[in-house]
Amino acid sequence: MKIYRNPILRLGSAVILALALTSLLASCKQDTSALDPGTNQPGTPIATTIPKSPDAIVEPADNPSTPAKIELGRHLFFDKVLSVDASTSCGSCHNIGAGLADKRGLATSMGFEHEMGTRNAPALANIAFNTSFTWDGKFKSLEAHAQGPIFNSLEMGNNFTNNPASLDSIATGYNSKPGGNDTLFLFKRLDVRPGDLQGVTYKTLKQQAWNGAPWSMDLIAKSIAAYERTFISTQSTFDKYNNGDASVLRNNPNAIRGLQLFTDVNGANCVSCHSGYNFTDQLFHDNGIGGVGVNNHADEKNVDKGRSSFTKNSADDYQFKTPTLRNVALSAPYMHNGRFATLEQVVKNYRDGGKNTTPYQDPRITKIKSLNLSDQDVSDIVEFLRTLTDNSFVMDKPGKFSNPWGD
Ligand code: HEC
Ligand code: HEC
């Protein structure tokens, strides 16, 4: 939705942001001098809005959340025993202090036996609102995705073939080796697992969540997915500002300028892809980071072709999902291959019109170049991105994000 600098339209608008909010506040609050740079002409479309609050979470009909299911999911999420050599949990790569991305700052992930993966671990804030999962969007639900890493040979590695009786369906699209996944060994490891720091065992947790049903991958995936739906981030500095508290950015006019550049359809227009409450259109684009291979090798064989590796449609070459920008300041390095170490490098790449090394680069990226954004503009956009950090989300909350196993 566009906002015009017309008071009537502005006041009638259901969702109000940035300049609109700024001007509105000017009429009722005192110290607003830092808020309105006044650079836009009356009647010019200036901004696209970011909603003030997320939509309701839609749970699959066959997996309604319950506190007991979430609690079992938390135990599984942090349990290294889920990996074949008890070295790696989901929480090893998705760490709360990094917005549930990799706190080790790895460009691409490291799984069991220190195997290096090929992609950067995404932040999981507000993952409940996504419509597809992983950088190429090959999974359609959190339930469908959750089995993937457990079997992936570069993540948790449960796909040995030494127990053919344990054949389970191979998580489609994941890097499973032929021959089956060793789920029986996995279930056994969970059954004999000593209790958590409080002495609570899986037997008790499974009794409460699933009435004592036997382990199955379905049950494990549903419990983890229910837990992942609790990763809700709504209290960033930006959210407070967006909901009317101008004081949080009173001393940060640069962030407000950055927000305006970000949302200005005639400016950097970042918002055309990073749109909506979670700053993602849920679509796939080539945003001009260049068709480079894993760990930046310019080796054609290693090039990650993104969505087309899953759809087998060459029109999808180099298309990756627009990631959320919530808590982005905490989740360096950036992009599907961890190509950029800092937010400044990211924004400079956009400013320079992308690398233009593939025929697929989105034209919007090329257009950004024509704006001649100054170094000040770049740093203001970065300053705005930093306001998306939600300190109350990333703080370790006992009982919610803390590791019940204490390791
Ligand atoms: C070895 C590191 C590693 C481990 C362990 C790991 N992940 Fe991930 N995770 C990643 C990487 C890398 C991706 C991106 C994969 C891709 O795009 O193909 C990812 C993607 C995801 C996504 C999709 C995010 C999005 O925005 O689309 C979810 C959800 C997720 N992981 C949850 C989990 C859960 C649950 C577990 C445990 C069962 C887990 N991960 C274990 C590294 C890891
Ligand atoms: C054409 C759509 C599009 C536009 C316009 C766009 N982005 Fe992106 N952005 C993406 C996609 C797609 C990715 C992930 C690409 C990849 O990893 O290969 C991304 C990644 C990012 C990342 C890295 C996030 C992470 O977790 O790794 C940041 C930060 C970012 N964009 C900020 C911006 C800013 C700031 C602007 C405006 C200057 C902008 N984007 C404009 C589509 C876009």
Residue 108: pLDDT band with limits 50, 70, 90: low
For residue 73, CA distances in Å to 61, 66, 99, 335, 403 come to 18, 11, 18, 28, 11
Counting ligands in written order, which one lies closest to the CA of residue 144?
A: 1
Residue 246: pLDDT band with limits 50, 70, 90: very high
Counting ligands in written order, which one lies closest to the CA of residue 383?
A: 2
| Cα of 123 from ligand 1 centre, angstroms | 9
| Cα of 273 from ligand 2 centre, angstroms | 8
| Whether the predicted pLDDT of 72 surpasses 80 | yes
Average pLDDT over residues 60-66: 95
The whole-number pLDDT of residue 308 equals: 83
The whole-number pLDDT of residue 171 equals: 38
Q: What is the pLDDT of residues 310-325, one digit of tens each?
A: 888 888 888 999 999 9
Q: What is the pLDDT of residues 28-45, one digit of tens each?
A: 333 322 222 333 333 344
Counting ligands in written order, which one lies closest to the CA of residue 115?
A: 1
Ligand 1 contact, 331 CB (< 6 A) = no
Ligand 2 contact, 328 CB (< 6 A) = yes
Element (H, E) at 3: strand 2-3
| Whether the predicted pLDDT of 1 surpasses 70 | no
Contact by Cβ (8 Å): 346, 274: no
The whole-number pLDDT of residue 265 equals: 86
Tokens, residue 277: 């409450």
For residues 349 and 340, give the distance between their C-alpha atoms in angstroms, rounded to a whole number: 9
Looking at the domain covering 67-228, what would its CATH class be?
Answer: mainly alpha
Counting ligands in written order, which one lies closest to the CA of residue 287?
A: 2
For residue 317, CA distances in Å to 100, 314, 359 come to 28, 5, 9
Ligand 2 contact, 100 CB (< 6 A) = no
- Alpha-helical runs (H) found in 303-342: 308-311
| Whether the predicted pLDDT of 259 surpasses 70 | yes
| Whether the predicted pLDDT of 10 surpasses 50 | no
| Cα of 384 from ligand 2 centre, angstroms | 14
For residue 210, the one-letter residue type is: W
Query: Closest residue (by CA) to atom 3 of ligand 1?
Result: 93
For residues 350 and 361, give the distance between their C-alpha atoms in angstroms, rounded to a whole number: 11
Domain residue extents for the chain: 67-228
The whole-number pLDDT of residue 147 equals: 80
| Whether the predicted pLDDT of 139 surpasses 60 | yes
- Pairwise pLDDT comparison (313 vs 208), residue with the higher score: 208
Contact by Cβ (8 Å): 10, 24: yes
Which residues share a beta bridge with 101? Answer: 95
Q: What is the pLDDT of residues 12-28, one digit of tens each?
A: 233 333 333 333 333 33
Closest CA to 103 of 116, 111, 92: 92
DSSP state of 128: G
Which of the listed residues 350, 355, 387 should we mutate to test ligand 2's pocket, taking the one with most ligand atoms within 8 A of CB? Answer: 350
Query: Closest residue (by CA) to atom 37 of ligand 2?
Result: 270
Residue 153: pLDDT band with limits 50, 70, 90: low
Summary mean pLDDT of the chain: 76
Which of the listed residues 94, 151, 158 should we mutate to test ligand 1's pocket, taking the one with most ligand atoms within 8 A of CB? Answer: 94
Query: Closest residue (by CA) to atom 34 of ligand 1?
Result: 90
The whole-number pLDDT of residue 339 equals: 85
| Cα of 139 from ligand 1 centre, angstroms | 11
* pTM value > 0.95: no
| Cα of 287 from ligand 2 centre, angstroms | 6
| Cα of 374 from ligand 2 centre, angstroms | 19
Contact by Cβ (8 Å): 304, 119: yes
